[in-house]
Amino acid sequence: MTSMLSRAIRSLPATSTWAVRFSARSFSCSPLSHAAVQPKSKKTLAKNGVKNIVVVDGVRIPFLQSGTSYADLMPHDLARASLQGLLNRTNVPKEVVDYIVYGTVIQEVKTSNVAREAALGAGFSDKTPAHTVTMACISSNQAMTTGVGLIASGQCDVVVAGGVELMSDVPIRHSRKMRKTLLSLNRAKTLGQRLALFAKIRPDYFAPELPAVAEFSTSETMGHSADRLAAAFAISRVEQDEYALRSHTLARKAQDEGLLTDVVPFKVPGKDMVIKDNGVRPSSMEQMGKLKAAFVKPYGTVTAANSSFLTDGASAVLIMSEEKALAMGYKPKAYLRDFVYVSQDPKDQLLLGPTYGTPKVLERAGLTLADIDVFEFHEAFAGQILANLKAMDSDWFAQNYMGRKSKVGAPPLEKFNKWGGSLSLGHPFGATGCRLVMTAAHRLKKEGGQYGVVAACAAGGQGHAMIVELYPQ
C-alpha cells in the first residue's frame, strides 16, 4: 500500500518537473537563464560597526562508520588528528591561536573537556585555553558561533573551532543501584560494613546502562520520531529511499571528482592510512526496498538505508577577524554571517530545526530564499530532510506553527546538498557543523555563488541556521 500511495504522490512532482522543463524549453530563445541574471537583494552582508569574521580554512579527518578503522582510538585522538590537519593546512603559528572550542555529544568521561586534551596533544601552545560545548548534532555549530562571539566581542582574534564524535566507543555505566552501592563501599570502614554492602547486591544490579539516542524528555528514539515526522508529512518510503540514493550518488560523484577537499588523511597507529569517507555506498532502489523498517515495526518507512549511520570523525575550522586574517596574509574562504538558534517541541517537531531556522536567518540577513546559491542541510534522515522541505513549502505550517504570514519556500534541489550529505558521508554528531560550513564555502567557490545557508536539526528539538558568504575572489 505504501508503494501505491507513494506512486500517486511521486507522480505529482514528476509531472511538475516535466512542466518546468517544457516551459524552460519554450523560453529557450531568451539569451540567459533567469537564475544567472537575478540580482541579489544585497551586495554583501557586511554591517557597519560589526567586525567581519572569516573562516580561513577548515579540515576534517575522513568520516568512518563506527566500529571500523577508528574503533580502538579515543575521541581526543580524532580531535587531535583534525587539529594537526588544520595546522598543516593553514600553517597558522600556534602562539597566534587565542582560543580553542570543540563540540561533542557523547562524552568520554575521562576527557570531558576533549578540546583541551586534543589541543595539548596536537602541538598547540599549552598557553591556549580550550573548552568543550555540547548541543547535540549542532555541537560544532555551537563551537563555531562561540568562536564568532569571542571575536566579535573583541576578546579574541583567532579561534579554532571543531567537533568530534567517536561512536565506536561510548560510556556504558553500571546501574544506578550498583553505582550507589559502589560509592557507599568507598565510605565503608570495616570489613563487616563492606560485606554487608556486598550482600545487598542483586542480579539486577549488574544490568548496564547504555547511552540511548533517545530524547530524555520523551524517551522516544530519534529514528522513531523521524518515522512519525515522515508520516506526518505523508512522505513515502520510496521518496525517502530515492532521496537517500541521491545523497549517496552525489557523494560518490564528489569523492570521485576530488571535490571533498576538506578531508585530510589520517594515519591511524597500527593501521593503514585512512584517506576517505567509508560510508558512501550508492545502492539500488530494489536493494534499499528490501530493508525492513528500523523503528516503527513492521510498517514504518525509516530504514537503515535512509538514515544516517553511526559515525566516527572530527573536524576543525580556523576562524579569524577579517583584518587579522588579511594582516597575516591569508586568503579566507568565506565570511561567517548571521546565524540563529531555534528550538521547538521536542516530541512532534524534533527534527524541524531547519524549517524554523532558515526563514529566521534569512530575515536577519535581509535576504530571500532566491538569493541563496548553496544550501547545505544536515541530513539526519531522508524523511527528516523531505519533511523539512515540505514544511518550508507549506503556508499552513508557517501560519499555524511558526507564527508567520506565509511560507519561506523549499530550497530547490539543484542547489541542495550537491556533494552528498550526512546520509552518505556520515554524521559524527559533534563534528558535522564544520563539515557543512566548509562544504558550503567550497561549493560557493566551485559553483560561482555568493550566499550559502547552512542548517541543521538537533536532539532536544533544537536547530541552527547560518549564512555563509563567499570571500571575494
Partner 1 sequence: MWATACHPKFSFSAPLMLSLVPDHKRPGPMEPPMDAVVPTSSSMQSPGYACRNVASSSSLQARTHVNYDVKGDVAVVRFNSPDSKVNTLSKQLQSEFTEVMNEIWANEAVKSAVLISAKQGCFIAGADINMIESCKTTQEVTQLSQEGQKMFEKLEKSPKPIVAAISGSCLGGGLEVAISCQYRVATKDKKTVLGTPEVLLGLLPGAGGTQRLPKLVGLPAAFDMMLTGKNIRADRAKRMGLVDQLVDPLGPGTKSPEERTIEYLEEVAIGFARGLANKTVSHKREKGLVQKLTDYALAIPFVRQQIYKTVEKRVQKQTKGLYPAPLKIIEVVKTGLEQGSEAGYLSESQKFGELAMTAESKALTGLYHGQVQCKKNKFGAPKQEVKTLAVLGAGLMGAGIAQVSVDKGLTTILKDTTLEGLGKGQQQVFKGLNDKVKKKNLTSFERDTILSNMTGQLDYKGFDKADMVIEAVFEDLSIKHKVLKEVEAVVPPHCIFASNTSALPISQIAAASKRPEKVIGMHYFSPVDKMQLLEIITTDKTSQDTAASAVAVGLKQGKIIIVVKDGPGFYTTRCLGPMLAEVVRVLQEGFDPRKVDALSTGFGFPVGAATLIDEVGVDVAAHVAEDLGKAFGQRFGGGNVELLKRMVEKGFLGRKSGKGFYVYQQGVKNRSVNSSMDEILAQFKVPSRPEVCTDEDIQLRLVTRFVNEAAMCLQEGILSNPVEGDMGAVFGLGFPPCLGGPFRYADSLGAKQLVDKLRKYEAVYGNQFTPCQLLLDHANDASKKFHH
**Whose Cβ is closer to partner 1: residue 267's or residue 347's?**
347
Tally of residues, the chain: 473
Q: How far is the CB of 231 from partner 1 (least distance, A)?
A: 5
Work out the number of other CB atoms within 10 angstroms of the CB of residue 213: 14
Q: Give min distance, CB of 342 to partner 1, in A.
A: 16
458 binds partner 1 (CB under 8 A): no
The per-residue DSSP string of 326-371 comes to: HHTT---SEEEEEEEEEE--TTTSTT-HHHHHHHHHHHHHT--GGG
- Site pattern 294..313 for partner 1 (x: CB under 8 A): --x--x--------------
Q: Longest C-alpha distance within the chain, in Å?
A: 95
As measured in angstroms, the least distance from the Cβ of 232 to partner 1 is 4
Interface residue with partner 1, options 349, 384, 424, 439 (CB under 8 A): 349
Q: Which residue, 410 or 454, is less far from partner 1 as judged by CB?
A: 410
CB of 107 to partner 1, least distance (A): 23
Do 172 and 106 touch, CB atoms closer than 8 A? no
Q: Side chain identity at 413, as an amino acid letter?
A: L
Q: Site size for partner 1, by CB under 8 A? A: 28
| Cα(158)–Cα(320) distance, integer angstroms | 5
Kindly state the smallest distance separating residue 396's Cβ from partner 1, in Å: 6
Using CB under 8 A as the binding rule, the residues of this chain from 217 to 256 that contact partner 1 are 217-219, 224, 228-229, 231-234
Tell me the CA end-to-end span of the chain in Å, nearest whole number: 53
Cα(457)–Cα(308) distance, integer angstroms: 13
- The residues near 463 (Cβ < 8 Å, ≥ 6 apart) are 138, 341, 342, 343, 344, 352, 353, 354, 355, 356, 357, 455, 456, 457
Nearer Cβ to partner 1 (98/215): 215
> Which residues neighbour 277 within 8 Å (Cβ) at sequence distance 6 or greater?
62, 63, 64, 251, 255, 260, 263, 425, 426
The site string for partner 1 over 177-216 (x = CB under 8 A, - otherwise) reads ----------------------------------------
Q: Which is nearer to partner 1, 276 or 290 (CB)?
A: 290
Q: Which three cell numbers stand for residue 98?
A: 587565542
Read off φ and ψ for residue 99, nearest 5 degrees.
-160, 150
Q: Between residues 140 and 301, which has the closer beta carbon with respect to partner 1?
A: 301
Q: Pick between residue 108 and residue 348 the one whose CB is nearest to partner 1.
A: 348
Residue 414: Cβ-neighbour burial (10 angstroms; 0-12, 13-18, 19+): exposed
Answer yes or no: are the C-beta atoms of 230 and 383 closer than 8 Å: yes
State the catalytic residues.
Answer: 137, 457
Q: How far is the CB of 1 from partner 1 (least distance, A)?
A: 4
Using the rule CB under 8 A, give the single segment among 2-10, 28-36, 195-203, 424-432 that binds partner 1: 2-10
What is the nearest approach in angstroms of partner 1 to the Cβ of residue 251? Answer: 28
Choose which of 69, 394, 422, 462 interacts with partner 1 (CB under 8 A): 394
Tell me which stretch binds partner 1 (CB under 8 A): 48-56, 191-199, 397-405, 465-473. 397-405
- Which spans of this chain sit near partner 1 (rule: CB under 8 A)? 1-2, 4-5, 217-219, 224, 228-229, 231-234, 296, 299, 345, 347-349, 387, 390-391, 394, 396-397, 400-401
